Amino acid sequence: MNHKNPICLFIAVLLLNFGFSQAQNKTTNPKNEFRAVWIATVANIDWPISNTDAVEKQKADFIEILDTYKKLNYNVVIVQIRSAGDAMYATNLAPWSKYLTGKQGLAPYPFYDPLDWMITQAHDRGFEFHAWLNPYRATMDMNTTALSRTHDVIKHPEWMIKHGGKYYYNPGLPEVQAHLINIVDEVVTKYDIDAIHFDDYFYPYRIKGEEFNDIVSYRKYGKGMSLEDWRRDNVNVYLKNTYEAIKKLKPWVQFGISPFGVWRNKSVDPRGSDTQAGQTNYDDLYADPMAWMEGRYIDYLLPQLYWSIEHKTASYGKLSKWWSENTKNVALYIGNGIYKINNDSDKKWYNPNEVSNQIDLTRSYSNINGNAFYSAKWFVNKNYAVTQLLKDNQYQYPALPYVVPYSRQEVKDTPNVTNINNQGENTVITLSFPMQSKIRYVMVYGTTNKNLINVNDPSQIINKIAFKETKDSIAISIPKLYLEKHNNCALTFVDYFGNESQATLLKVNNQNLKTNENR
């Protein structure tokens, strides 16, 4: 039997000020930190495990990934929803991915929209959901007979360039840019994502003896620029227009890019890094993160530093320092190559401390605020020595991702408790519906009578509960054992930009709680 028990919790407002600067003093266990994992769908790298898996197995496997990384105190998933002119969601702009159903253009059966479902599952576990798209890669091979008749290679062959055994969209064509922006627009409009994410595939990596044949479009649209500058300008214009389209629709949705880890080598440009990379962003991929930052048309950079700290030609240590010193106007995180653990010619990756040492190095720079790990399968029932080190040390406690850059603001609503209802093993707390802010999560903090609530202490985080909107109230369920263990609790709101409200303090009276439950 349920009992309303308004006296079991003494409710008071605890006024707490939250800073409005992105930077914070780095600690062993920071309250705010970007902790992400890439979930690759291309070639069934991470998910679905097989393109012949039944829907229920797909769902179970995705939940296993989420639950694994929640236990490790991660807070962001970067999920690949478009890998090669296809889609892992329902759309008329691209065919269903063959990596989902085994045949391109074939919808899942029983039908469900994987993207909508994945977003809900991620938010229910407190993750931000970053929708990862590869804009320019159209196919993974030259086999057009396996393509859906709705694929752009079939519908618009004039948009395509053959290179390296694949088809690519021609970035120099205005109609291609417009089409790719429409794809982003649809995802942002239809789905409750937290970010659009692009990786390092802009113009394709160079192949010896083969040129990217865009000379016709260059002659038509080059406007007197060199071929190299024109290609970089194509990427810059596309990214700028993509950013503006996202912000026009939903200003809280971030636009993040994870470029290749080397901008330029110092041997080519004195501003470059002390590396000997065979290919670089600027000179080979025609991707210029320096311009993106200068123009302020991305929210975060996540360079892929998939080398060990002491690597001879591209050192994680040297590159972390270089990106720290050369990043401005955007949030900066670092990408780590966990697929190399116990699996690389560089023997440093056989040291279980390599990854934790990389995180510690990241934290030594005030403007590098977290890490992302490629890719998800390498910590799902694998590499236990590394994951245990992270769980015991660097990721001992949960953390919240950072606020969207340039979006610090006061959350005017604070949790207002209107009812408390004991239901079996759970206590349901009803809150007034926030009227002045768009709320994403309710944070629950707890401590014992010996310690005061400090919402800046991540060790006091009990849970991060997805906000379920109703017309006049919100109900959150907290296991009663949490309330019995933590004599003092507090609630805060987190808005869509990641800002946290002032806190409402809940004083737990365990005796009343137990007594009323046993009536």
Per residue in 255-290, pLDDT tens?
Answer: 999 999 999 999 999 999 999 999 999 999 999 999
DSSP state of 383: -
Q: Name the nearest CA neighbour of 370 among 128, 65, 191, 196.
A: 128
pLDDT of 5: 39
pLDDT, tens only, 70-106: 999 999 999 999 999 999 999 999 999 999 999 999 9
Average pLDDT, the chain: 92
Residue 136's region, left for phi above 0, alpha for psi from -120 to 50, else beta, is alpha
Q: What is the pTM of this model?
A: 0.94
Q: Look up tokens 């229910």; give the residue.
A: 124
pLDDT, tens digit, 9 for 90 and up, residues 207-225? 999 999 999 999 999 999 9
Domain residue spans in the chain? 3-16+408-517, 34-392
pLDDT of res. 512: 41
- The token pair at 446 is 């707890």
Return the SS3 of 190: helix
Half-sphere exposure for 176 (CA within 13 Å, toward CB)? 25
Pick the CATH number of 34-392 from 3.30.70.1150, 3.40.50.10860, 3.20.20.80, 1.20.140.10: 3.20.20.80
3-16+408-517 and 34-392 have identical folds: no
* % pLDDT > 90, the chain: 85
Report residue 508's pLDDT band, with 50, 70 and 90 as the boundaries: low
pLDDT at 15: 38
Note the pLDDT of residue 28.
82
Across 19-33, 139-153, 232-246, 365-379, least confident range = 19-33
Which fold does the domain 3-16+408-517 belong to in CATH? Immunoglobulin-like (2.60.40)
